[in-house]
Structure 1
Amino acid sequence: MATRPRRDTRAFDTELLVALAGQVVVLLTLTLTVGVGSAGWLACCVFAAVVGFLLAIGAPARRAAAAGSANRVTLARATLVGGVTALVADQIADEMAGLPDRPVRAVVMLVIASVALALDLADGYVARRTDSVSELGARFDMELDSLLVLVLSVLASRSLGLWVLAIGLARYLFIAAMAIWPQLKGELPFSRARKVVAATQGVVMIAAVAPFVPRPLAAAAVAVALTTLVWSFGRDAVYLLRRRPD
């Protein structure tokens, strides 16, 4: 029985290495097509290094359980999020340097971000169909969603204002609050409303950074999304803080 976890762990590590190689391919492709500069390379490499490190140091049993088709889909999503990170960093660097915008870069970024968001449905479906649902896979999937929203919120804040960062930072502020109120680490009951609100954030942020969406409309959409997000986190926080310990 001891040999199976080791083999499965090696499978997970192999999938991770392939994904890291795929990240390099994505970055090289973007460089050759839209001209990603040093800022984009740095941001993407930091993203890949952090994600790879956090996955690699996971408990062996959790990594073994996560290996499989669903994990490969999620890792593919990660390479796309890394590509979006590179394009966003590259665009911000150009803006700060006073360089002209490149519309092709914005279109490519929107396409990649949309595909990454759409694949969020695929990895869960694959996990259920292949009976490969795992704790690490679910957590990784959720954190990728949060990272994508954070990266897009950084770009959107350039034109809409720093208040937009509240959407990208909301989850991380909630995690930080756990250090003050350990009750927030408790398990939450299933909520369809929570899932809808979470899914909406990515869609709204993609629309918010689209150059063809009027800024007033983008600002209004982000404001509504932020309101629902604050409501969702607030409701969960109240539930956890009021719940009596077992």
Structure 2
Amino acid sequence: MQISRPPSPRPTAPQPRRAPPCPRGWILAVPAGLALNLAVSVIVLGQGTGALVAGAVYLAAAGIVAVGMRRHYPHAVMGACNTVTLMRVALTAALIAPLMGDAPAGWLVAAVAAISLTLDGVDGYLARRANLCSDFGARFDMEVDAALALILALHALAGSPVGAEVLVLGVMRYLFAGAGLIWPWIMAPLPVSYFRKGVCVLQLATLIALQIPQMPPDTGIIQARIASVALVWSFARDVLWLWRHR
């Protein structure tokens, strides 16, 4: 007697994995940042046409951040910490507006940049307090610092006595990332370093000081060179550590 076996179930095709939605609070934070961006660009910095460029840059950056959050952010809530960082994106993008005009450097640029730098310490505190720390948040904060440094370096190049050497303070992060495309070991995680954080503060503080019109030329050049040497040394230390631990 032959016993029939039930037919084996047909294999089902794997269901595509849906990306998680953006965390709660994102829908409100983006238009708030756009309003801040346009207000600073038009009212404070007084650039109508440049404000459109600054707003477009902010929206593009917000879109990139949204994609990154969907893929890498581990929390369901955006939180005040990432909202503050997004506001820093709005302020940083607003500083593009004066570059479209005739007076790219000045007290107002220094003031807006100083506010952004001050908020750099606020978002980390809020993340720790709300238990929303993440690798994504740290990377988000770092990239805003890099963008702020680049824009301020362009302001300093156009409106300060320092020459093209000031661009060292604005492009080092991007040179580092470009080197990572050639040598992938450069993009490995780095240990926490207070020396690196201190150099970042020195870098941004120097770039803000270079926006002040009353800065004596010799003083500005000396400050820029000191900050540039410190920044190059900081990156060299990190590259050496990564090479040894590759």
- Tell me if both proteins adopt one fold, taking TM over 0.5 as the criterion: yes
- Describe the shift of the 1:126–1:110 C-alpha distance in structure 2 as closer, same or farther (beyond 3 A): same
For 1:51 and 1:164, how far apart are their aligned partners in 2?
25
Secondary structure of residue in 1 paired with 2:96:
helix
In the TM superposition, residue 61 of structure 1 has moved relative to its aligned partner by 5.3
Tell me which residue corresponds to 1:24: 35
The percent identity for this pair of structures is 33
Q: For residue 189 of structure 1, report the CA deviation from its aligned partner.
A: 2.0
Question: 1:171–1:184: structure 2 CA closer, same or farther, 3 Å change rule?
Answer: same
Decide whether the 8 Å contact of 1:23 with 1:82 is kept in 2.
no
Contact 1:153 1:165 in 2 (8 A): yes
Question: Residues 63 and 187 from structure 1, CA distance in 2 versus in 1: closer, same or farther, beyond 3 angstroms?
Answer: closer
* Match of residue 13, structure 1, among 23, 26, 30: 26
Q: Secondary structure at the match of 1:11?
A: coil
Matches within 5 A, 1:91-240: 93-94=101-102, 101=103, 106-158=106-158, 159=160, 160-240=162-242
Which residue number in structure 2 is paired with residue 41 of structure 1?
Answer: 51
CA distance in 1, matches of 2:26, 2:33: 14
Question: Does the 8 Å CA contact 1:20/1:52 hold for their aligned counterparts?
Answer: no
State how far apart, in whole Å, the 2-side matches of 1:29 and 1:238 are: 41
Could you tell me how far 1:23 is from its partner in structure 2? 2.1
Deviation, 1:153, is 0.3
Whichever residue aligns with residue 211 of structure 1, its letter is P
CA contact (8 A) 2:106 2:212 kept: yes
Runs (5+) with no aligned partner, structure 1 = 95-100
**1:134 CA displacement:** 1.7
- Structure 1 residue 6 displacement after superposition: 5.2
Bigger helix share: 1
- Runs of 4 or more off by more than 6 Å in structure 1? none
Q: Which shows bigger deviation, 195-204 or 53-62? A: 53-62
Q: Partner amino acid for 1:115?
A: I
For structure 2, the residue ranges without an aligned partner over 5 or more in a row are 1-18
Contact kept? 2:41, 2:48, Cα under 8 Å: no
